[in-house]
Amino acid sequence: MSLPYRFKARGTGNNAAMAHTTTSVHHHRSTTKVEHKPFKSRFASKSALKDQAKGKIESQRPERGQRKTPHQQVMSKLARRNQAKQLRMHHKDKKEGEELIFQGVDGAAKHIAVVPLSSDINPYSVIKTLNESVDISDSNVSSGTVPVRVDRFRRNLLYLPAKFDLLNALDICKLADWVIFVLDAEQKYGEEEDLFLRSLEGQGITNVTALVINLDQTIPAPKRMRHLTEMNIALGRYFPALDKLSSLDSKSDCSNLVRRICTASTRGIRWRDDRSWMLIEQANWSPQVDETTATTSVTLFGTIRGKALNPDRLVHVPGWGDFRISSIRQVPRQGQKRKAEEMDADEPIKEWKPTADQDDLAELAPEEAEMQDAASTVATTEHKGVLLDDHHYFSDDNSHMPPPPKKLPPGTSNYQAAWFLDDVSDSESDMSDDEDRDGDVAMDAEQESLNAGDGGGMVLTNAEDGGSVMEGKAPSEYPQSEMNLDDDQDDAPLEAEEEARQLAEFRASRRKKEAEEDLEFPDEIELHPDVLARERLAKYRGLKSLRTSEWNHAEDAPYEPAEYKRLLQVPEYRKSYSSVIKESLAGAVLAGTRVEIELRDVPISLQSRAPQPSSMFSLLRHEHKHAVINLNVTLRSDLAEPVKSKDELIVQIGHRRLLINPVFSAAGQTPNDVHKFDRFLHPGRTAIASFTGPLTWGSVPVLIFQRQSPRQSSDGTNPDTIEDTTAPALIDAHTTTQRIPSSSSTPLSPLRLIGTATTLPPSSTRVVAKRLILTGHPYKIHKKLVTVRYMFFTRADVQWFAALPLFTRRGRQGFIKEPLGTHGYFKATFDGRIGPLDAVGVALYKRVWPRPARVWESEGV
């Protein structure tokens, strides 16, 4: 039974073929593009290689198995292995050399900054707990620094307790090898904590770790690990390198933290370690020899850190200033072991003296007598027009100006026009112009009503109307677009009071807040009708292109500051910086040497007025000289209001704090090195801040602060008078004060962090050009010819600025055709038709000079 059924299902003969045909599926071609086989030549030409590349750039990362440099292409595999081994050994030796100064009984102490994030945390109790975890119990110090010898790990530690104060913490953290943040178990990050941590991060910080106190008493045991993880994430927003939080209640965590501090290598701060610096342990003033002398010598004790110290370089003591070194003497180690045969021998004490190459304290270059004509330093007034790029137009002669149009009958050819004299014309009836007036647009409704009352819908200003636009001048070639502006007030279409009223209404409609107006209408100003523009804007000039036009520096000579040419100029910054850094490596006093440094010519007034210093930094060559400093500033995006240019700011550049009035300008590089001046720096934006001050080599992080208005606490006292926020009290134990608990209404710092910056190479040739835009109102439009008002108010001003190019907000370009009347109206021609709601503008520029910086004194906050 199965056999017939099988035959019936499959079929026979043609039926089987049909079954196979019906099961096949038809497929379309995937694409209609036919790719021909490319021709393969034996050698590829340059054009063929360019076609293959199609503008692609070679990848920076080489492919696997490909050698990186041409030198490595000829190196064998063994040589490349040997080179990699030498690099590893060199890196290891460098790290061991940096850690070598901490080894031994008399090794230099590692500086450990203990920074609490609350005013209720006592840093000395934290230090005591850490010492007890490594079996050190004789450290009952409650003020100043805490030196500790950890015999278990054979290291010397110097704890630097800080306070929950911005300036105190900044000064201490810049001297630390490790920073320990002490957090409460229920730590909150408010406005003050955010300012505190962001400032420490922006200054540059070394290795960071954190401790949590009161964890066992506050958090239940099952939730402690999760709570520590959440706290680590919250603090890691400021310090991403933070790996683990330790509990102060756990002895094992504390001992592991001390072991890590003693054995791990420090990352350091680059701008600090490029120089020689020292933590001042003691300062001794020499007795005053004569009461008439205002200076004396001071001896500072400490251990050299960073680079080797050169006695020829100046040193900077924060809070005091820059000084010259008189001598450097080595202090012998107390626990230094000697051989038995050397016990009776006197060990010579090394001493270093400055040489004839010692830097001086001159901030500016010496004055050079220049024999120049007195007239060259005074702004000339013989020109007839404004400066455009590097030429005063309309000042030599009037040969470049087209002749005034002649009165010609309609249909006169050029050949026939040559036979007409300037003062001869046909009948005035032939002067009627039949041009199309459909393009005229009346910009003033009141003016239209006045014209309609006179019996016409348009303004007629030719000779038929009995009025002359300009006395002694030929009528314009566009009489239909002129206003009837005679010197006679009776013939004027607008009275003086009416015109003043319209001007006030026009300007009042656009008047807003200054900062908001700078965003919407940047650099626009409005002239008073009674002020002459050529006198008010005498320092300004025109530029065809702010980016490419050449800046005429000779015109800046009358307005240049007296000390500007005496500033330091660095033509090749990279080469100079490299030579200065190499010179710092050849210092005489090596790092890790305990010394006493004698400074000379220190003012005696600092002994009573200034606090005890905490640190000393060696200056690189030329860092005492003044130059034009440029900072790449980025303002914080959460600020409520912008910062105005030339407002008073406080900047911390490395180890200096300066009071500046910066000039903001646009960032970037231009072919002519001219950059636009910014009146405001708005939140979240970046600009270049320029001022004159002491030079700082390298790319150094900068903190920018603004003074906060003092707010009264709940008890009516000023928080600024409760505690002195001057230099940290690392030496004198009596300078520590008791801080009251902070409240939300009491600012913990008199300064507010508004942004960060980075130093750029100094440049005295960088031109900051302040732009002013005078805007006018299109009063009457006839195709491409426009009558403009409210830009100038006298005929002489129009003639003075006639060479400047015009522009509109919608991108049209034009030029001044001719002045009209005596009230500052003029006709302008544009490259296209403009709308009635458009505004006509002209740009003027003048150079803005950077202002000098002053040394900021913390007592004046």
Residues 131 and 229 in one domain: yes
Given 560, 595, 618, which residue is the final one in a domain? 618
Cβ atoms of residues 313 and 619 within 8 Å: yes
Expressed as residue numbers, the domain containing 837 is 524-545+769-847
The percent of residues in the chain predicted with pLDDT above 90, rounded, is 30
220 and 282 housed in the same domain: no
556's CB contacts (< 8 A; 6+ apart) are 847
Task: Give me the chain's average pLDDT, please.
Answer: 77
Decide: 281 and 731 in contact? Cβ < 8 Å: yes
Q: What are the pLDDT digits (tens) for 520-559?
A: 667 888 888 888 888 888 889 989 888 889 898 888 888 8
Structure confidence at residue 508 (pLDDT): 67
Per-residue pLDDT, averaged over 82-98, amounts to 80
pLDDT of residue 216: 85
The conformation of residue 228, written as its DSSP 8-state character, comes to: H
Q: What is the pLDDT of residue 556?
A: 86
pLDDT tens digits for 126-172? 999 999 898 887 667 778 888 999 888 888 999 999 999 899 999 99
pLDDT at 456 > cutoff 80:
no
Give the chain's domain count. 3
Which residues, in sequence order, are CB contacts of 809 under 8 Å at separation 6+? 838, 839, 841
Does 145 lie in the same domain as 113?
yes
Q: What is the mean pLDDT of residues 614-640?
A: 92
Structural domain includes residue 80: no
Domain presence at residue 281: yes
Give the domain CATH number at 538.
2.40.10.190
Same domain? 155 vs 264? yes
Same domain flag for 162 and 242: yes
Query: How large is the average pLDDT for residues 688-709?
Result: 91
Q: Which helix (H) or strand (E) holds 215?
A: helix 215-218
Per-residue pLDDT, 450:
38
Report yes or no: 106 and 335 within 8 Å, Cβ to Cβ. Answer: yes
Taking residue 215's Cβ as centre, other Cβ atoms within 10 Å add up to: 24
CATH code assigned at 144: 3.40.50.300
Which tops the pLDDT comparison, 80 or 741? 80
Higher pLDDT, 541 or 68: 541
Q: What is the pTM of this model?
A: 0.70
DSSP label of 72: H
- Higher-confidence residue of 766 and 381: namely 766
Whether residue 288 is found in the same domain as residue 264: no
167 and 219 housed in the same domain: yes
The pLDDT value recorded for residue 471 is 38
Give yes or no: residues 134 and 201 share one domain. Answer: yes
* pLDDT score of 19 more than 60: no
Residue 225 included in any domain = yes
pLDDT confidence tier of residue 24, bands split at 50, 70 and 90: low
Percent above pLDDT 70 for the chain: 70
pLDDT (tens digit per residue) in 337-364: 444 454 444 567 888 999 998 999 998 8
324 and 224 in one domain? Answer: no
Q: What is the predicted pLDDT for the residue at 406?
A: 65
Residue 338 lies in a domain: no
690: left (phi over 0), alpha (psi -120 to 50) or beta: beta
CATH of the domain at 300: 2.40.30
> Does 325 share its domain with 301?
yes
The answer to whether the beta carbons of residues 823 and 499 sit under 8 Å apart is yes
**Based on the number of CB atoms within 10 Å of its own CB, is 395 exposed (0-12), middle (13-18) or buried (19 or more)?**
middle
- At residue 476, the pLDDT reads 46
Would the pLDDT of 440 be above 60?
no
847 forms beta bridges with: 769
Cβ–Cβ < 8 Å for 660, 853: yes
Q: What is the pLDDT of residues 299-330, one digit of tens each?
A: 999 999 989 999 999 999 998 999 999 999 99
Does the residue 459 lie in any domain?
Answer: no
- Residue 731 pLDDT more than 50? no
Q: 379 pLDDT exceeds 60?
A: no
- pLDDT by residue (tens digit) across 209-262? 999 998 888 888 888 888 888 898 999 899 988 888 888 988 999 999 999 999
The last residue of one of the domains, among 211, 237, 268, is 268
- 287 & 262 share domain: no
CA dist 58 and 685 (Å) reads 34
Residue 827: the pLDDT is: 93
pLDDT at 369: 53
- Whether the pLDDT of residue 694 is over 90: the answer is yes
- Residues 592-614: tens digit of each pLDDT: 889 999 999 999 888 887 777 88
pLDDT (0 to 100) of residue 617: 94
CA distance 804 to 801: 6
Residue 714 has pLDDT above 60, yes or no: no
The amino acid occupying position 724 is D
Please give the full DSSP string across 339-372, using - where no structure is assigned: -GGGSSSPPPPPEE---TT------SPPP-----
- Three-state secondary structure call for residue 164: coil
Which of the listed residues 590, 618, 646 is the one where a domain comes to its end? 618
Q: Is residue 89 part of a domain?
A: no
Among 44-53, 92-101, 249-258, 675-684, which stretch is predicted with the lowest mean pLDDT? 44-53
Cβ-proximal residues to 236 (8 Å cutoff; 6+ apart), any chain:
242
Q: Which of 186-200, 217-231, 497-511 has the lowest mean pLDDT?
A: 497-511
Residue 188 near residue 231 (C-beta atoms within 8 A): no
Question: How much is the average pLDDT of 64-90?
Answer: 73
My answer on whether 248 and 297 are in the same domain is no
pLDDT band at residue 835 under the 50/70/90 scheme: confident
Residue 57, class by beta-carbon neighbours within 10 Å (0-12 exposed, 13-18 middle, 19+ buried)? exposed
pLDDT of residue 62: 53
Residue 101 has pLDDT above 80, yes or no: yes
Residue 332's pLDDT is 83
Predicted pLDDT at 454: 42
- Whether 739 has a pLDDT exceeding 80, the answer reads no
* Measured distance CA(161)–CA(182) in Å, rounded: 11
Residue range 748-768, pLDDT digits in tens = 568 889 999 999 999 999 999
Residue 264 included in any domain:
yes
Structural domain includes residue 584? yes
| Of the listed ranges 171-185, 228-242, 374-388, the one predicted with least confidence | 374-388
Distance CA 832, CA 322 (A): 63
